[in-house]
Amino acid sequence: MSVKKLLIIGYVWPEPNSSAAGTRMMQLIALFQAQGWQITFASPAKQGEHKTNLTHLDIKEHPIKLNSTCFDQFIQNLQPLVVLFDRFMMEEQFGWRIEKQLPNTLRILNTEDLHALRACRQDLLKAYLKTKPETIDLNQIPLHSPSQLFLHLAQTDLAKREISAIFRCDLTLMISEFELNLLQQQFQVPSQQLCYLPLLYSKTLYQPQTTPSFEERQHFIAIGNFRHDPNWDAVLWLKQSIWPKIRQQLPHAELHIYGAYPPPKATQLHSDKQGFKIKGWAPDALHVIRHAKVCLAPLRFGAGIKGKLAESMLCGTPSITTSIGAEAMQNIGETQWGGKISNSAESFAQAAVTLYRDSQNWTMAQKTGFNIVQSRYLAPHSSQKTLFKQLNIMIQHPQTHRQPLFIGAMLNHHHHKSTQYMAQWIEAKNKIGT
């Protein structure tokens, strides 16, 4: 039996202790390795200081260049059966080369989240804040209406680029059911080009019997990569509006804020006097979450599902978040949350204080979180079987899968010409300049 080769083209090198995107990538790698795939990971990005050493996991690492024919020779030598693009920008850069050099190779897109949706919600928030900067109530912004979001998204270049990449690929992995439905119902993406696959954690990480009790925990926690705009916005909202209200009622409480790559503007917010402490990168995110009493995630915009909140439930740490934070993370048909969902600074702060003080309320929230994580975020999961079932059918009958997907074929035809010629022009220009 021939070796099944998977090439992953990463937007960045995986850093699972820095971001949910890094965790997601390592989960995908583990899924494919469990199915016997031989994996090569390639990226044009510089290696970050918290990068995982993939070679220790028997994964080949290969740096690649943008706008260079050396990539063509690389994939000709590798001959992958499947290429997985980590985020649509990598499909834009390398998709046409894969199609040209290896037309029978399957192309999969891993979205992490819909970037265009995240940017759209950020624009909607900015517009709202211009009119009501003092009274922020996220319920007054159409952040969750598929039809209204579509009207905004359809006007943006980012959405046109991202949705085009989804149409061009054989399959796109979706982490959020809300976004899956948005693509099918509003953008008319065929169901056979989409696969729902949430964050999935090993059952060995789920240890409700040994998790610290209410009395053994202390402090609030907020966590998230500072390079991610929604996380930085959440830190600012905490600092300016939410944390002062909490400290009025809990004058000795502390908020410990963890996240990779804190810029000077973030570290300058640190205040021992206010109990607002910027801790920076956490080598073991689950450890610091597990020992905190309450997780705060006041996300005012964003997309996908939130690793920090899934991991809080995994660790038995109740959380206060917004409707954006909880989107697509609750059990279908249920409104319960492992803590509280609040969309204004006043209600958010009060919910945090109540949860921090009340052990009975806290224990009930923890139990709800455990129920959610058990049903949605523990491997093995039915979505895994669905993915590899779809993939095996596509491998065996690639043309049967592609034949009815005319929009994808049409976009491939146009994209490959324009992107190909631009890349070749850049490459020629670079050669002249050297």
Same domain? 100 vs 249: no
Q: Is the peptide bond before 380 cis (omega within 30 degrees of 0)?
A: yes
Same domain? 124 vs 170: yes
Same domain? 227 vs 329: yes
Identify the pLDDT of residue 191.
Answer: 96
Same domain? 144 vs 108: yes
Q: Which of 352, 376, 400 is the last residue of a domain?
A: 376
Please report which confidence band the pLDDT of residue 335 belongs to, taking 50, 70 and 90 as the band edges: confident
Identify the pLDDT of residue 430.
Answer: 83
Identify the pLDDT of residue 1.
Answer: 53
* Percentage of the chain lying above the pLDDT 90 cut: 88
Same domain? 154 vs 21: yes
Identify the pLDDT of residue 121.
Answer: 98
Q: Which of 337, 361, 376 is the last residue of a domain?
A: 376
Same domain? 372 vs 406: no
Range of the domain at 395: 5-198+381-433
* Count: domains in the chain: 2
Q: For the domain that residue 45 is a member of, what is the CATH number?
A: 3.40.50.2000
Using one digit for the tens of pLDDT, what is the confidence trace for 272-315? 999 999 999 999 999 999 999 999 999 999 999 999 999 999 99
pLDDT, greater one: 335 or 376? 376
Same domain? 78 vs 168: yes
Using one digit for the tens of pLDDT, what is the confidence trace for 253-277? 999 999 999 999 999 999 999 999 9
The answer, yes or no, to whether residue 417 has pLDDT greater than 90, is no
Using one digit for the tens of pLDDT, what is the confidence trace for 191-243? 999 999 999 999 999 999 999 999 999 999 999 999 999 999 999 999 999 99
Identify the pLDDT of residue 416.
Answer: 52
Please report which confidence band the pLDDT of residue 415 belongs to, taking 50, 70 and 90 as the band edges: low
Please report which confidence band the pLDDT of residue 87 belongs to, taking 50, 70 and 90 as the band edges: very high
Instruction: Give the global pTM.
Output: 0.94
The answer, yes or no, to whether residue 360 has pLDDT greater than 60, is yes
Identify the pLDDT of residue 431.
Answer: 80
Same domain? 337 vs 413: no
The answer, yes or no, to whether residue 319 has pLDDT greater than 80, is yes
* Mean pLDDT of the chain, nearest integer: 94
pLDDT, greater one: 130 or 429? 130
Using one digit for the tens of pLDDT, what is the confidence trace for 343-357? 999 999 999 999 999
Identify the pLDDT of residue 412.
Answer: 83
Same domain? 248 vs 160: no
Same domain? 391 vs 371: no
337 CB burial (10 A radius; 0-12, 13-18, 19+): buried
Identify the pLDDT of residue 424.
Answer: 76
- Quick one: how far is CA 75 from the chain centroid? 27
Same domain? 358 vs 385: no
Identify the pLDDT of residue 133.
Answer: 65
Same domain? 211 vs 189: no
